[in-house]
Chains A and B, each alone.
Chain A
Amino acid sequence: MKLCRGSGIKLVMGADIRNGYSHLYLLIAKNNNDLCWINTFLSEHLIAKKDFPLVPAASPDVFVVYPYDSKQTAELSANERIGIKPYLIASIINLNPGDQYVIHQPIVVQDKDHYYLHCLLRAIDKNIVLSQLKPEYYCNSQDIFLLPLKLLQAYRHYPALVTNTYKLLDACNIEMDFDADKTMGVYGGSKEDDFVLLEKLAHAGLIRRYGKKNKAASDRLVKELKVIYDLGFTAYFLINHDFVRFANEQGYYHVGRGSGANSIVAFCLGITDVDPIELNLYFERFLNPERTSPPDFDIDFSWTDRDEVMAYIFTRYGKKHVALLDSCPTFKIDSIIRELGKVFGLPDEEIKLFQRDGKPTCVKTRKIQRFGELMCGFPSTLSIHPCGVLISEKPILNYWTLFHTPKSERTSMAAIQMDMFTAEDIGLNKFDVLSQRGLGHIKDCQALIKQNHSKHIDIHNTKVFFSDERIKKHIREANTIGCFYIESPAMRQLLKKLRCDDYLTLVAASSIIRPGVAQSGMMRTYIERFHKRAKVEYIQPLFEEHLSETFGVIVFQEDVIKIAHYYGGLSLSKAEILRRAMSGKHSSSNRFNLIREEFFAYAIALGRDPEQVAEVWRKMVSFAGYSFNKAHSASFAVESYMSLYLKNYYPQEFMVAVINNFGGFYSRELYFMELLKCGGDIHLPCVNNSDQLTNIVDGKIYVGFIHVKGLHDKLIERITDERKANGAYTSLDDFIRRTACGLEQLNTLIRIGALRFTGKSKKTLLWEANFLQKKMQSVAPEVQTMFNEPLKLNFALPELNDDAIDDLYDQMEIMGFCTTNPFVLADADPDTFVSARDLGKHVGKTITMLAYFIARKHVITKNDDQKFFGIFVDSQLDWIDTVHFPDAAKRHPLHSSDFYKIKGRVAEDFDIFSLKVQYMEKIGYRNRSYAN
């Protein structure tokens, strides 16, 4: 609509109603009420997944245009018309052109090429090859913009149709005020009432957070409240506070972040846990009088609680006013090749080859290349935005249509056919309700601590954590596996290089690790300056004034705003627009280019050196796309400290919680290794002790059944429910009777050792299980329960012993990891290699290590070569970081999990050691004994 307005075109809104490929009619809205009616009509049918009726239910004003021959004019009501296509009109004889006929010239494609592309799209949609496409599936090749004279010529014998069409569209008028905020603007009775409530809540929070006599905090609160009221964001704050309050009442944890975390009001309301005064957070990043959009609140909940919070929002504000946002992924090269390849009937191998090489080798691949270019950027499907929800003042159907995806259907929360950019364009501000696993770790860990130690941990008492010496030591040593946001190899290296042991450095590290700073080379500069190894040279005194906290390095989004404003002379609102425009989506937009020109013009007018201006601009641009604002980094750091505290004082409970929440940077195997390192007494799954998830029973950690491949959820439920109801299983026979476990699943349980309580070897149990199962099958299920006496084996087995190595292989096969140190399986003696702890003694020397592969990062160099960064552990489960430069990567590719003998030179960087790989070979696993 904005585009049409800008181009002097009147836009009328409607919808083409179809069941499958069968066109039923067009609905065209005369006014905004009609648009709402059309949206309601569409939503009802889309959500209920029912066919559209052949005649829409009566609507007072909406125009309905049927195809020719589908209705007689006598049957039509006042708002119904019949559309006649130009290529049909010549074949119609004796048309009596009353008021009810209109021109129906669909615009579907641009030209011949796009018509062919349209046919390809139809084939993709129908999941058929092109030759199977039936005429009814695709449009007419004439469904294009016709030259005006050609259009008029087609209807020259029926000028009334032209007039009728003109009249129809002239009667339509949709209004949209793009500048008006359409988000729910009143929380309680009125805006004034809302402000009174916000003030009351904020002042109560002020006393709770800062005590009664903190003038700086009080002054800032008053200033912020005024700006919030003046800009009309009172309800926005109250709504965010409302669902956070609901979550707190339910015992759900949350973390508030985003630019909203710069606000003292948000801190006092409990939306965030970041103290803006302590961190000297930049008020103007949060709100400034020139800003028209509200600050972003990204509110994280545990992935187990988030849907409940969403459900509350839908109930509290009403389904008529609430909808999830959609996101609309587009076709990229790989998906285009895959889809068009299928339409052209290419075999899978050829599709993959073309995806890999991108070189057309036949007519079909040349067509894929040609039409694929046209298809790039086409929307592929409608899905749901991961966290955005809209709460509108007017019913949401005033704007667009609602729909369901399978997920939204399960939760009965409808999504609107509108993405976040469109919502923002029309004045609907989204609320971000996110789900993350880090909070799940914290919540589950606390429950385990309560269960095992009868203690309640006040996890929000973070200021105590900041000064905890034990935590400081662990951050310095980067003992952070499982901890929120600081467990990745890159982050652990950064923490070590910075010798980070305090909150503020962790806040900076959380932003420095982002790709923008790292790739612009400023991460290294920051580390050097942090250690004062390099003298800090500020480009301008202004940089010292505004960026001294980060040693002149642009680390946070606020820094971009400060530089754009104080150095470049842009207004705060333009600086904020620039900051937003620097994100990937807008960095090539006209608006961005205009601001760039202004930045250069203003800065040079202020007497800055043009070369210096260009350099400052380069630094800002290279950084800003992926950056965090300081409050956001601080919120992350708070959560990191929560998990650091739990990991340090309750490592086993913490690692079990990490394992049970899944996700995380590393594999389950590594988290179990870490649990082992933390002194965990890990036991294999056991039918008398394990639950679905990993648990702790009397200090022993039992691996959860969920890790046993192929075990059905229903059987797991039966095993645990029956045990809890009627006590522990007493024998194999007892277990089979009480759980009705099938032979295949029983074999799996035996092989993983889940029936070891019987005291029998696995091989013996497998024989017996086979026999008992057959006996059971010969007795009807209803009769089985009547037999309480155990079935007797009528044979004697020889002594069948298990083998420790075979057991480990079983664990690897069934769970994908073993519960002991994996080096037991390595076909080499670890003691003959250099250990990770001794790397410092070998700097600059070439050594050989025995290492177990954990993860790798793959990088393409400027010369298009492959380079790897490898993560391994040695036999003491200490980390080994490797660098595989292109030559080594080519000679010794790093692909899969295994034991490797690695030869390389030890390098040191800020006391971090790594191995620059020269040679590498797989050592492999010890042979199975298959002992009897």
Chain B
Amino acid sequence: MSLEINGIYYLLFFLVFFLAILPQIRLVIIYLDAKTYYSFYFGTHSTAGLVDAAVEHGVTTLSLCNINCTYDH
């Protein structure tokens, strides 16, 4: 009987974990040196394109390091 109850608990736990908790977990993805095309004649990402790509790759922190400037639009 207790085995059956434990089984239900386990089932419930896995259900909650897979359906509710797991989707909330994000890997902490960080990049130290991202450039846009304001690294003139070097980077090929537009500013919006870089952010979109970062979102797509699940990036949580992005360090913008253009060449010899802190410039970006």
> In the complex, which of the residues B27, B32, B53, B67 has the most CB atoms of chain A within 10 Å of its own CB atom?
B32
B62–A9 CB distance below 8 A: yes
Known: A169-B30, A419-B73. A379 touches B68 (CB 8 A): no
* Chain A 157-197 interface 0/1 with B at a Cβ cutoff of 8 Å (1 = within): 00000000110111010000000000000000000000000
Interface residues of A in 45-71 (CB under 8 A from B): 46, 52, 65
Top 5 A-B pairs, shortest CB-CB distance: A125-B41, A417-B71, A12-B63, A107-B34, A114-B44
Query: Is A319 an interface position by the 8 A CB rule?
Result: no
Query: Is A594 an interface position by the 8 A CB rule?
Result: no
Q: Which residues of A contact B39 (CB under 8 A)?
A: 16, 108
Q: Which residues of A contact B48 (CB under 8 A)?
A: 3
A169–B61 CB distance below 8 A: yes
Q: Which residues of B contact A39 (CB under 8 A)?
A: 70
Known: A110-B44, A117-B44, A124-B41. A11 touches B64 (CB 8 A): yes
A17–B55 CB distance below 8 A: no
Known: A10-B62, A108-B44. A379 touches B32 (CB 8 A): no
**A835 to B50 alpha-carbon distance, docked (Å):** 65
The residue from A26, A124, A374, A382 contacting B32, defined by CB atoms under 8 A apart? A26
The residue from A14, A145, A418 contacting B65, defined by CB atoms under 8 A apart? A14
B32–A103 CB distance below 8 A: yes
> In the complex, which of the residues B31, B54, B57, B71 has the most CB atoms of chain A within 10 Å of its own CB atom?
B71
**A122 to B39 alpha-carbon distance, docked (Å):** 11
**A379 to B67 alpha-carbon distance, docked (Å):** 14
B65–A15 CB distance below 8 A: yes
B73–A14 CB distance below 8 A: no
Known: A14-B64, A38-B70, A147-B57. A3 touches B51 (CB 8 A): yes
B71–A381 CB distance below 8 A: no
**A14 to B72 alpha-carbon distance, docked (Å):** 11
B55–A9 CB distance below 8 A: yes
**A802 to B70 alpha-carbon distance, docked (Å):** 67
Query: Is B7 an interface position by the 8 A CB rule?
Result: no
B70–A9 CB distance below 8 A: no
Smallest distance from the beta carbon of B30 to chain A beta carbons, Å? 5
Known: A12-B63, A108-B44. A148 touches B30 (CB 8 A): no
B62–A106 CB distance below 8 A: no
A122–B60 CB distance below 8 A: no
The bracket for how many chain A residues form the interface is: 35 or more
B29–A151 CB distance below 8 A: yes
The residue from A118, A152, A379 contacting B38, defined by CB atoms under 8 A apart? A379
Smallest distance from the beta carbon of B18 to chain A beta carbons, Å? 19
**A374 to B70 alpha-carbon distance, docked (Å):** 24
Q: Chain B residues in contact with chain A, CB under 8 A?
A: 27-35, 37-71, 73
**A106 to B44 alpha-carbon distance, docked (Å):** 12
Q: Chain A residues in contact with chain B, CB under 8 A?
A: 3-4, 7-18, 26-28, 35, 38-39, 42, 46, 52, 65, 83, 102-110, 114, 117-118, 121-122, 124-125, 139, 145, 147-148, 151-152, 165-166, 168-170, 172, 328, 374, 377-382, 400-401, 417-419, 421-422
Task: Identify the closest chain B residue to A107 (Cβ).
Answer: B34
Q: List 15 A-B contacts (CB under 8 A).
A: A3-B51, A4-B62, A7-B54, A14-B63, A16-B35, A16-B67, A42-B68, A103-B32, A109-B45, A121-B41, A122-B41, A145-B54, A152-B27, A379-B40, A382-B40
**A42 to B44 alpha-carbon distance, docked (Å):** 22
B32–A169 CB distance below 8 A: yes
The prevalent SS among residues of A at the interface is: mixed
> In the complex, which of the residues B33, B35, B55, B68 has the most CB atoms of chain A within 10 Å of its own CB atom?
B33
B73–A400 CB distance below 8 A: no
Known: A16-B68, A110-B49. A65 touches B54 (CB 8 A): no
Known: A9-B54, A10-B60. A107 touches B70 (CB 8 A): no
Q: Which residues of B contact A122 (CB under 8 A)?
A: 41-42
Q: Which residues of B contact A125 (CB under 8 A)?
A: 40-42
A165–B44 CB distance below 8 A: no
B32–A15 CB distance below 8 A: no
A401–B73 CB distance below 8 A: no
Known: A108-B43, A139-B42, A401-B71. A16 touches B65 (CB 8 A): yes
The residue from A102, A103, A421 contacting B73, defined by CB atoms under 8 A apart? A421
The residue from A12, A15, A83, A114 contacting B68, defined by CB atoms under 8 A apart? A15
Smallest distance from the beta carbon of A148 to chain B beta carbons, Å? 5
B29–A148 CB distance below 8 A: yes
Q: Which residues of B contact A17 (CB under 8 A)?
A: 68
Task: Identify the closest chain B residue to A46 (Cβ).
Answer: B68
The residue from B42, B43, B58, B63 contacting A13, defined by CB atoms under 8 A apart? B63
**A26 to B65 alpha-carbon distance, docked (Å):** 7
**A120 to B21 alpha-carbon distance, docked (Å):** 46
B28–A166 CB distance below 8 A: yes
A148–B58 CB distance below 8 A: yes
What would 14 more interface pairs be, CB under 8 Å, given A15-B68, A145-B57, A169-B63? A7-B55, A10-B60, A11-B64, A15-B67, A15-B69, A26-B63, A35-B70, A38-B70, A42-B68, A109-B43, A117-B44, A121-B41, A165-B32, A422-B73
Smallest distance from the beta carbon of B57 to chain A beta carbons, Å? 5
Smallest distance from the beta carbon of A932 to chain B beta carbons, Å? 62
**A13 to B56 alpha-carbon distance, docked (Å):** 21
Task: Identify the closest chain B residue to A105 (Cβ).
Answer: B31
The residue from A4, A107, A148 contacting B35, defined by CB atoms under 8 A apart? A107
A168–B32 CB distance below 8 A: yes
Smallest distance from the beta carbon of B62 to chain A beta carbons, Å? 5
A105–B33 CB distance below 8 A: yes
The residue from A83, A378, A417 contacting B37, defined by CB atoms under 8 A apart? A378
